[in-house]
Amino acid sequence: MKTKVLCVDDDNSILDALTRLLKAQFDVGTASCAREGLDWLKKNPDCAVVLSDFRMPGMNGVEFLREIRQNHPESVRAILSGQIDLQLVSEAINNSDIHKFFLKPWENDYLLVQMSEALNLHHTLREKAHYERLAVTDPVTQVSNHRFFQNQLRRELQARPQGPVSLLIFDVDDFKAYNDRYGHPEGDRLLYNVAQTLERLRPREGFVSRYGGEEFTMILPGLDLD
């Protein structure tokens, strides 16, 4: 299966040229504006590289790629344009909103090499994200672990010094007796089911974590339970 890339440009001739160049190595998606590109990415979240024009109607390339960074941080983001705001693009590179910048007209062999390098970077970003997720995920319940809970609670309290931030703590009654009677595999399965039930019930902006043992927490930013 070919790796997916997205090309965004309001000039159809540019999109046609990029598709012809890249289709032998990549599964190429195209969009004529940022909004179309975002819609395409919702259906193709495994996209490896996004190549965008700078000047487009509605949202320029830097704004578009900055939004992609929030929702698709493992996608490599690049500007391909002949008309740019150098200061804006430089700031975007320094802020990691974009990874690469190419000028139009491009040289085919050079762009293919750069796309190959972008794919390698994508693999590196995916691996990094994988290990970062492992570091904050409880392996039994697949929700956030105690480390994530401590860091997230600190962030929420700092972001809202006047509140409100609510914290719920849950405990599984008689878990030790259940574990002793049915065995550790069944005990782990029970903890997993409890955690996933809390995940389904939490508000979109809430955070569920395994605090330890049979205890779970739910952070509710912006919610006053009183």
Residues annotated as catalytic (active site), given as ranges: 214
Tokens of 60: 């320029």
CA 220 to CA 226: how far, in whole Å? 13
Residues belonging to the chain? 226
Question: What is residue 223's DSSP assignment?
Answer: -
CA 64 to CA 110: how far, in whole Å? 24
CB-based burial of residue 94 (10 Å sphere; 0-12 exposed, 13-18 middle, 19+ buried)? Answer: exposed
Q: In what order do the strands lie in the sheet with 165-171?
A: 165-171, 215-221, 207-212
> How far, in whole angstroms, is CA 205 from its chain's centroid?
15
Long-range own/partner contacts, residues 32-38 (CB < 8 A, 24 or more apart): 32/8, 33/8, 33/57, 33/58, 33/59, 34/8, 34/58, 34/59, 34/60, 34/61, 34/63, 34/64, 34/67, 35/59, 36/8, 37/6, 37/8, 37/64, 37/68, 38/64, 38/67, 38/68
